[in-house]
Amino acid sequence: MLRIFRQVALWEAISTIFLFFVAMPVKYVLPRFMEIPDDIRLGTVRIAGSIHGFLVVIFVVLLITCWQSYNWKFKRVVMYFAASLIPIVSFWVERDVLKIINKEKI
């Protein structure tokens, strides 16, 4: 379960970065410099946003499941959720879960 949660946390972080720093600039900034067809301009955010939204839902479901399965403290759950909302900080969740996985191997 932790390995799956770790992977979802990583992909959720990557999708956030892609959405904010690739798809949204294509929609809002790039048209100022060059002509881009509306289907491409709007499609990038629609596709990236849909993927990101799906990963966020899976992240929250797995976060709640891990909270119950591993008896995590509420503070950890809130920290993970808050970190997932900030694009760069969300990579910390993946690293922290990796530390938990490595502790279980000992």
Residue 71 is part of which domain span?
2-105
Could you identify the residue written with the tokens 């709007």? Answer: 42
CA dist list (Å): 71 to 31, 61, 67, 75, 76: 49, 15, 5, 12, 10
* Phi, psi for 6 (deg, rounded to 5): -60, -45
pTM of the model: 0.88
pLDDT at 76: 95
Domain count, the chain: 1
Compute the Cα dihedral for 32, 34, 38, 43 and give only its sign: negative
pLDDT, mean of each 10-residue run, the chain (106 residues): 94 93 92 88 93 96 96 95 87 92 78
